[in-house]
């Protein structure tokens, strides 16, 4: 794309939702294939772009009436080829107008800046979003109330223009909340429903179908999918809001880098197959582990798992919620679930016994991760292990966990042995 020649018309209209998401992930940006025969898009690193060489084409900039769809490239804080391409695909996959940001939290900050609520209702969820709210509170006096305590909404006067913010599935457990219920509560008060759908990427759920006004993604997770880029995404059906947030982003300055935009395009091409595999494996692992910790299970595997794990949490195990949950997550459950170890020591030691799971924070990548969650979130129980399932084979992941439990249980047993007084000829004493 050059500044003086707009891209030629697309073979595929951006709003053409008659194609399935797998197809749109590959072709929704075809209209941006201007002046180049590249099949794989080029990485454009330029921050600035030449104006037209034709003086009569030179029209001074005016933000208000800029046509974003056909805006010429000027400066990469305004728009840039790689991020625009990523936004074109995300718009298709998320069924709205999409904007990208330098990180998920930058996107959330931009959303609060645009909507300027006086009150926000929010549950537990990702602790970083609470940090963003604290910063906004400092700037604007924004009040935070508990999502699950409507009395606190009343006391704070949550009403028109305020925000009900729901993260589902929820960090760090992968359990789900009923969006329709919160959409109804928000609607009654004239508040917006904003949904952090990071744990339920496109393909698993579409929060607009349950009444969301704005959708937030940390694109760092499933959209990026390879643990190598930071990205935030906001999506809305409201074209005017999208244009205004785009204009505000120019001054917030929190745009994605071109390298990340390029990586993002490369990543979302395979979003569907990655997430389907991850979702399927996570559900099978969560169900297997949950069955193992059941007291009625007396299999050998069950005995081993029970030595280390006391409880498993995941939306796939919310049997009583399946009537709304199967509607809300028609594509499958999220690839993150949580395990509670029987002790803090076990939770802390298990990651070191695994070979396939990296012990690291974050989620959504092709690599399976386990995190003793206390490492990054002091508010969560010290026995909690957060699991992010990657695209490795299910059987291998299962075996790795089982071997890890076994090693930990044996070590625990031998440590217990060494703590026990040992009978010697000379008498009783601990080994030195």
Residues that bind ligand PLP (CB under 6 A): 103-105, 126, 128-129, 167, 171, 196, 198-199, 218, 220-221, 230, 232
**CB of residue 324 to ligand PLP, shortest distance in Å:** 20
Nearer to ligand PLP, 80 or 106 (CB): 106
Strands 119-122 and 143-146: parallel
Task: Specify the residue, 204 or 293, whose C-beta has the smaller distance to ligand PLP.
Answer: 204
Q: Tell me how far apart the alpha carbons of residues 20 and 421 are, in angstroms, rounded to a whole number.
A: 67
Residue 191 vs 215, nearer CB to ligand PLP: 215
Q: To the nearest whole angstrom, how small is the minimum distance from the Cβ of residue 196 to ligand PLP? A: 5
Q: Which is nearer to ligand PLP, 234 or 347 (CB)?
A: 234
CB of residue 161 vs ligand PLP: minimum separation in angstroms?
23
Nearest to 82 by CA among 270, 272, 271, 267: 267
The three-class DSSP label of residue 256 is: coil
CA distance 300 to 292: 9
Q: Which of 133, 141, 86 is nearest to 111 (CA)?
A: 133
CB 126 to ligand PLP: min, Å: 4
Q: Over the Cα atoms of the chain, what is R_g?
A: 25
Give the relative orientation of helices 258-268 and 81-94 as an angle to the nearest 10 degrees.
40
Nearer to ligand PLP, 31 or 249 (CB): 249
Instruction: Compute the distance between CA of residue 399 and CA of residue 285 in angstroms, rounded to an integer.
Output: 11
* Percent composition of the chain: helix, strand, coil (DSSP 3-state, to 5): 45, 15, 40
In contact, 213 and 194? CB cutoff 8 Å: yes
Shortest Å distance, C-beta 379 to ligand PLP? 14
Complex with ligand PLP: residue 121 or 349, whichever CB lies closer = 121
- Nearest distance from residue 263's CB to ligand PLP, in Å? 14
| Residue number with the smallest Cβ distance to ligand PLP | 104
Q: State in angstroms the smallest separation of the CB of 132 from ligand PLP.
A: 9
Q: Name the residue nearer to ligand PLP (CB basis): 103 or 368.
A: 103
CA angle (266 as vertex; 22, 172 as ends), nearest 5:
80
């Amino acid at each position: 794309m050059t500044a003086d020649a707009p891209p030629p018309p697309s073979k595929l209209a951006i709003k053409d939702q008659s194609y399935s998401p797998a197809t749109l992930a590959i072709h929704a940006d075809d209209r941006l294939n201007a002046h180049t025969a590249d099949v794989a898009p080029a990485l454009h690193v330029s921050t600035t772009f030449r104006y037209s060489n034709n003086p009569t084409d030179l029209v001074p900039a005016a933000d208000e009436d800029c046509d974003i769809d056909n805006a010429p490239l000027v400066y990469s804080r305004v728009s840039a080829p790689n991020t625009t391409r990523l936004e074109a695909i995300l718009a298709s996959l998320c069924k709205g107008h999409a904007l990208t940001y330098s990180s998920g939290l930058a996107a959330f900050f931009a959303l609060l800046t645009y909507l300027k609520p006086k009150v926000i209702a929010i549950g537990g969820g990702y602790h970083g979003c609470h940090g963003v709210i604290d910063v906004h509170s400092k700037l604007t006096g924004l009040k935070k109330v508990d999502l699950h305590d409507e009395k606190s909404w009343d006391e704070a006067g949550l009403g028109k223009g305020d925000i009900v913010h729901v993260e589902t599935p929820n960090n760090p457990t992968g359990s789900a909340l009923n969006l329709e219920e919160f959409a109804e509560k928000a609607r009654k008060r004239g508040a917006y429903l904003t949904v952090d759908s990071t744990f339920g990427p496109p393909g698993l759920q579409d929060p607009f179908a349950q009444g969301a006004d704005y959708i937030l993604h940390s694109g760092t997770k499933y959209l990026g999918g390879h643990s190598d880029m930071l990205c935030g995404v906001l999506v809305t059906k409201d074209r005017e809001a999208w244009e205004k947030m785009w204009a505000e982003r120019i001054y917030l300055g929190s745009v994605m880098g071109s390298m990340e935009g390029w990586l993002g395009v490369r990543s979302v091409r395979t979003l569907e197959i990655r997430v389907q595999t991850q979702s399927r494996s996570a559900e099978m692992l969560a169900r297997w582990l949950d069955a193992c910790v059941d007291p009625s299970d007396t299999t050998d595997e069950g005995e081993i798992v029970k030595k280390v794990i006391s409880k498993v949490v995941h939306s796939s195990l919310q049997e009583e919620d399946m009537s709304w949950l199967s509607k809300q997550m028609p594509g499958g459950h999220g690839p993150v679930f949580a395990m509670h170890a029987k002790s803090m020591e076990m939770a802390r030691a298990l990651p070191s016994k695994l070979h396939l799971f990296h012990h690291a924070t974050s989620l959504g990548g092709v690599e399976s991760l386990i995190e003793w969650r206390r490492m990054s979130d002091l508010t969560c129980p010290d026995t909690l292990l957060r699991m992010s399932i990657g695209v490795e084979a299910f059987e291998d992941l299962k075996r790795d966990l089982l071997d890890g439990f076994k090693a930990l249980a044996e070590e625990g047993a031998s440590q217990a042995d060494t703590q026990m007084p040992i009978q010697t000829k000379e008498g009783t004493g601990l080994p030195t």
